[in-house]
Structure 1
Amino acid sequence: DGEPQGTAGQPMLNVFQRESVTNVCCVVTRYFGGVLLGAGGLTRAYTKGAKDALDAVGISTMSLWTLWDVPCTYPLFERVKLEITACGGVVRDTAYGADIRLRAAFPAGGAEQFVPRLTELSAGGLAMEAAGEEFLPGPRESANGT
């Protein structure tokens, strides 16, 4: 529609390249400006939109996590969930029956740290079973270094 070429896509891409961010999609919707802003104004508007979006969501790195089925009794349920979290894991699913079975995901080293805690909590009565691996995002980090 007569807008200057190279004022939106490339400046937005540069924001992500400077932060070494890959495999993302960013959409910036501009309601005002066009030729009234000029090429410099458009470039600044799109760059700021992309940077504001990145700062708002942060950056997360994908890594390989191990999945485990963790049996649990009802009295130990809340404590087991707390211990999973304390070891850097997350509860992905919970199945309720006569007892509870949690599907937990742990980053590298987290499962090894959790095993003795589960043994201690259950007095050796519970043992978790390997259930595979999955690529998952790690904790979010601020894009602006804070």
Structure 2
Amino acid sequence: MNNKHQCEYKTVYQYGQAEIIEKKSRFIASVKPVTTEQEAVDFINELKSKYWDATHNVYAYVIGNNNIQRYSDDGEPAGTAGIPTLEVIKKEQLQDVVVVVTRYFGGTLLGAGGLVRAYGRSAKEGLVAAGIIYMRLCDNIKIKTDYTLLGKIQNEIVNSGHIIDDTIYQEDVTLFVLVNAQQSEQFIQNMIDITNGRVNISKVATKYIAIDEKGKLLSSTGS
């Protein structure tokens, strides 16, 4: 699936792990962002090798905009492990993520309901540990202008909710601004209007930027 068709989607920021204990059973949720099914399968196999002595290595993953969904109970009663793990991913509306929940049996049976709750809770805590983020498709807009217009331009950028990615101070000043791809044409026109055309402005790239749930820029990736 090509994410470039999506203006925004949710995923996880990085590898994360969380552990819970339920009636002496140990549940370890390992979470990783992935972009292909092969990456997900490789991660699952890596965890199965790492926790080769575990009672179960349950997994679930979603690749793309719900294009690929897979799960496994890995020997747990049907519907008590893989599906609850997958449902947590879907409830959070995440994609491009794989979750492996490793269980070391503690000697006490949890029952079907107990297993559903334990796997669901473990998966949720793993996702939180990995960091739930938004990936937003943005155009990187280059603006070159003289210093007399800098304040006006900066105010317009901030008030419009866009992000200044970089500023280069030379004889003139050059700003690189990350603008939602759907809003870039309007942004360019606004810049021309407020400066009476006294800017050199162009789109130099399109890329996804990672934003946390509070709107803070975490990183960006070129395309």
Class of the TM-score when normalised by the shorter of the 2 chains: 0.5 to 0.7
CA distance in 2, matches of 1:67, 1:95: 15
Matches within 5 A, 1:6-45: 6=76, 9-26=82-99, 34-36=106-108, 38-39=110-111, 40-45=113-118
CA distance in 2, matches of 1:115, 1:17: 37
TM-score w.r.t. length of structure 2: 0.46
Greater helix content = 1
SS at match of 2:168: strand
CA distance in 1, matches of 2:193, 2:158: 16
Greater strand content = 2
From 144, 153, 159, give the equivalent of 1:80: 153
From 132, 141, 146, give the equivalent of 2:205: 132
**Deviation per residue, 1:29-56 (Å, 9 max, x gap):** 88x9844462543431331233356579
- Count of residue correspondences: 139
CA RMSD of aligned residues (A): 3.7
Where structure 1 has 5 or more consecutive residues not aligned to the other structure, the ranges are: 142-146
Report which structure shows greater RCO (CA 8 Å, sep ≥6).
1
User: Residue 92 of structure 1 contacts residue 104 of structure 1 at CA under 8 Å; is this kept in 2?
Assistant: yes
Same amino acid, percent of matched pairs: 30
TM-score w.r.t. length of structure 1: 0.64
User: Residue 145 of structure 2 contacts residue 200 of structure 2 at CA under 8 Å; is this kept in 1?
Assistant: no
